[in-house]
Structure 1
Amino acid sequence: NLLKGKASCSFQEGRRQRRYAVDEGAGSISFGRCRHGLYHQHGEIDNITVMIRPEVLEQWELKLDPLLNKALACDHCFLDGHRSGEMSATAHLLGTAMDQGAGLPPAQTRSSLWLYGQSVTLVSLFLEVRQDSECTCRVSNTDRQRLVRARERLLEDLGKAPSLSELARESGLSQPKLTRGFRQLFFNSVYGVFQQARMIQARSRLMSGDDSVMRIASDLGYANASHFAT
């Protein structure tokens, strides 16, 4: 997802409606056989969706992690926070190909085989990220809310990250619980989440062409432009 605003989705779970934030630069696995939900959006969002039936996954004889297996067996899930540079690059390639394909002559458009191959690659990258993930069901609802607030505080100013002790104190979590919770819920370290958000904003600003590299580097807290380039 590339966001200029905020987005979320919600699903009925038992007697209550559970709401999930749609994260900038992150992917989610959503499944619901005959399941209805609501989508909330404020601002702009670009995203790629690959839809695949569970029986196709079974045909591929893939080794799925226990949480994903359980979710598919229950006919509903929303597993969010999946991130990796390769995943983002593949999604960007797919999005660019589809955007350009609408206005290009047939000889210059990507073939259906290429689109299929990239889509399968994206699915495999999601599953690779999940192999090293811990079960998010170990995070209580209270801690989940605290971790989401901690992430919002972390990303308030992408030019300067708060210290771990400051972030833990403001969120009401111990430092070990904060760092462990980030890996369980967001599949990344605290500063990994921060760095990824910086790079996503940097890419967006570079692609818009409105600011110089030096200006963007400075705004994102880089005193040395060569470090930013690296």
Structure 2
Amino acid sequence: MTMILTEQDCDEHLRTDSTVHPDEFEILHAWDGALDSGWCREIQLRDLWLTIKEYQAEEDFIFKAEPVYLEPASSFFVAGTMKSCYEGFADENLEAPGRHYVECVHGHIELDHQPVGEKIIRVRFGLNPDVLKLFGDTAVLPRELQPWATGEISYPFYRQGTITAEMQVVLHQILHCIYQGPMKQMYLEGKVLELAALQFSQFAEVDNCLHKETALKSDDIERLHQAKEILMAQINDPPSILGLSRQVGLNDFKLKQGFRQVFGTTVFGYLREYRLEQARLLLIEGELSVQQVARAIGYTHSGYFATAFKHKFGISPKTYQSLR
């Protein structure tokens, strides 16, 4: 049976760590242990951050990352294949060479499973949201990033694409940068921005084509509203995307695309927002404890609920309830 381990569990399995600073803006962290070994370069640039990571598993295990709240980030898979999923948000994704993704996932536990002995190399970066706000025409951005550019409420997303020949050239230049010091920082920032432009334009082009091809009929819209009602009625045990699509008679692609068009968010994004709004109303009523409210809306861990609630409303559920 495959072990499921947290960061703390991994550290307890005889890991030895070392950290050096090749430059004032860069940290090189390396580790070696019974479970896995590798290194990670963390590079702070002006309006973004960059990490380059290489590692491999020595034993079969699933790494369980605690839920966090992140700004949008992109990742490019240079070598090695692994499987990843976010509990309660997305199905399992195959992350393999030649693929890339952009994501922003709030408060969901991530599970990563990689084959033993397979070397993983990935390049990952994140942009300061203020940079996205500089885009006058948000249509040039992927639809998932447009709310960040306009300052609107954003919803969790994970979206994969294909690495092109142009992207491969830029990735090679990032991985084999010959500069040092401030020139290195300047060079890498320019290359990451170039890589972001190539990725964003690829997604935006697909979005424009899909918008033209997925005009919704009145019957489709009715089925989407039916899907929304099912989610609201089954808040504690919602169906999967595939199960929901079967219930309302839409294929999963049209369900996901249609949900964005009609409700402005993903299926799971809508469910999450609805759950938190129901939680707010229950807290106002004051008849249930915070733990009971969490269970009532489908959260099995009150700590995850408290984190999600605070992120949405800017205040903890316990404090919110006491103020009411």
Higher strand share: 2
Greater RCO (CA < 8 Å, at least 6 residues apart): 1
TM-score in terms of structure 1 length? 0.47
Compute the TM-score of the two structures, normalised by the length of structure 2. Answer: 0.35
Higher helix share: 1
